[in-house]
Amino acid sequence: MEHNFLYMQSGGPTAVINASAYGALSCALNSKEIDHVYAGLYGIEGFMDGKVIEIKKEDRKELSYLLQTPGAAFGSCRKKLKDFRDDPSDYRKIDGMLDRYHISYIAYNGGNDSMDTVYQYGMYLKEEGIRDRFIVGIPKTVDNDLTETDHTPGYGSAAKYIASAFSEIVADSSSYEKGKVNIVELMGRDAGWLTLSSSLADLSGKGPDRIYLPEYPFDIHEFLKDVESVYREKHVAFFAVSEGIADQDGRPIGESGKKDAFGHPQLGGVSSYLASLVSEKGYKVRAIEFNVPQRCDLSCRSKTDVTEALICGEKAVQALLNHESGKMVALKRVSYDPYKIEYVLKDASLIGNKVRYIDPSYYDLKTKKATEAFFSYALPLIEGDVPLQKEHGLPRFFSLKNLSEYGK
C-alpha cells in the first residue's frame, strides 16, 4: 500500500512561506517512507475540489526557487472547517480525495485559522478511529500572533522591511526645515507585533515618535495632543499605528463594517482617517499605508527567517513520519545571547483561533515606545541577508508547469 504526502498552504502569505514549502517538499521527496509527494492548490478548499499536483513532475532546480518566491506558490484559501460533529460533509469530501491519492501524511502551512483546521481534522481522525493518517501544522504569519511559539516564520522579514522602510521615510521627510505629520499604518488586526517593529528604526536614529498598538485603547484626543507636542518640538512628526487600533469600547478606528471569510472585521484606512483629523487642526499631513509589501518584500528577508521557515517544513515531515498528529511545529527560544532556538511540537488546540498579544514588558505605555526587552527579543529575528538569484535584473521566482494537466 502506498503512503503518500500532501502539502497545502492557507491564509495570508509571507516572504518565507515558500521556504517552508521547500523544506517540507524536499524532505518528503528524499524520504524512503513516502511514495508520492503532492501539493494541494489553493489550500484545503482547492484540494476538496480536486486541485492537486504531483511534485515529482516539477524540476528539482525549479523547486529551489521556492526559497526566494513571495506569495503562496501553491495558492491559498480562507476556508473554515465546521465542527465535524455538526457538519461532517467537508470531512467526507476531504477523505475522499485523500483516499483517491493514498495520502497518509498532511502538512498544513498557515496561521491561527489554519491551525484550527489542523486541530479540527486531527480531532476528526481521532474520533473516527482513522489510525493511518496524520496531520501536522507548519507555522506562518507576518503578524507573529500564534500562541505556543516564541515567534512565527514570516515575522522577522516583515519586521526588517518595516524598520528599513520606516527609517527611509523619516530620512526623506526630514529633508525640509518644516516637514509634515506622517502617519504610517501597519498590519496587525489584534496584536501589534508589526507596528512595534517600526521601533527597530531607532537603531539608525530614524524611528517613530509614538507607536499605537491594538492591545491598548486608542484615545483620539490624546493622539492629537501627541501630534501637537511632537510637532512643536521637531517641526516634523512620525507616528506608527496598527490597523487594528480601537477605542475604549473596542470599536476599531478603521473598521469598514465588512468582514472576511472567518468573520474578522476588514480593516484599513486608519492612517487616512487620522490624517483627516490632523489636517483639520491646520497641520500638513501625510497618510502612509505599508500594505502588501510588508508580507511580500524580498529585499529585506532575514537569513534567520528563511532558515527557520525551511527547517519548520522539514520538522513537520519528520513529525508526520513519527505518526504525530493534530500538532504544530513551534519555535522555543532557549537562549537570547547567543540566540538559539529549539523546534518542538505543540497541540494545535492551544493555537487555533487564539491570539498572542504583545508582551507588556515590550512596550512603554507612557512614552508609547518599545523597550529594551523588545529589542533583545526582535533583533536576532532580522539578522542576516539572503542574496537573490536574478534574471534580467529581477528576482527569479518559482513557477509551476502547465496547470491544465493537474487534478485529473
What pLDDT digit, counting tens, does each position of 83-119 carry?
A: 999 999 999 999 999 999 999 999 999 999 999 999 9
Nine-digit cell at 365? 505605555
pLDDT at residue number 361: 98
Q: What percent of the chain has a predicted confidence (pLDDT) above 90?
A: 89
pLDDT at residue number 254: 63
Catalytic residue numbers read: 143
pLDDT at residue number 80: 87
Q: What is the mean pLDDT of the chain?
A: 94
- The pLDDT-based confidence of 296 (bands split at 50, 70, 90) is very high
Peptide bond into 214 cis (omega under 30): no
Q: What is the pTM of this model?
A: 0.94
State mean pLDDT over 154-159. Answer: 98
Question: pLDDT tens digits for 378-392?
Answer: 999 999 999 999 999
State mean pLDDT over 189-201. Answer: 97
Question: pLDDT tens digits for 299-329?
Answer: 999 999 999 999 999 999 999 999 999 999 9
pLDDT at residue number 408: 45
CA distance 210 to 370: 9
State mean pLDDT over 20-36. Answer: 98
Give the CATH fold of the 4-147+300-353+384-405 domain. Rossmann fold (3.40.50)
Residues in contact with 310: Cβ distance below 8 Å, sequence separation at least 6, in sequence order: 19, 20, 22, 23, 67
Predicted confidence (pLDDT) at residue 402 exceeds the cutoff of 80: no
CA distance 23 to 27: 6
Q: Which has more confidence, 406 or 365?
A: 365
- Domain regions of the chain by residue span: 4-147+300-353+384-405, 155-296
Contact 305, 331 (CB under 8 A): no
pLDDT at residue number 397: 96
CA distances from 79 to 16, 43, 260 (A): 22, 8, 11
CA distance 308 to 341: 9
Residues in contact with 97: Cβ distance below 8 Å, sequence separation at least 6, in sequence order: 47, 48, 50, 52, 103
pLDDT at residue number 85: 92
215-237 core/surface letters (b: 16 or more CB in 10 A; e: else)? bbebeeeebbebbeebbeeeebb
- The pLDDT-based confidence of 269 (bands split at 50, 70, 90) is confident
- The pLDDT-based confidence of 152 (bands split at 50, 70, 90) is very high
Strands (E), 162-310: 181-186, 210-212, 237-242, 285-289
pLDDT at residue number 150: 98
Question: pLDDT tens digits for 273-295?
Answer: 999 999 999 999 999 999 999 99
Q: How many CB atoms lie within 10 A of CB 163?
A: 23
Please indicate whether the domains covering 4-147+300-353+384-405 and 155-296 agree at the CATH topology level: yes
Question: pLDDT tens digits for 217-243?
Answer: 999 999 999 999 999 999 999 999 999
Question: pLDDT tens digits for 64-80?
Answer: 999 999 999 999 998 98
Predicted confidence (pLDDT) at residue 257 exceeds the cutoff of 70: no
- The pLDDT-based confidence of 265 (bands split at 50, 70, 90) is low
- CATH 3.40.50.460 for domain 155-296: yes
pLDDT at residue number 255: 64
Q: What percent of the chain has a predicted confidence (pLDDT) above 70?
A: 95
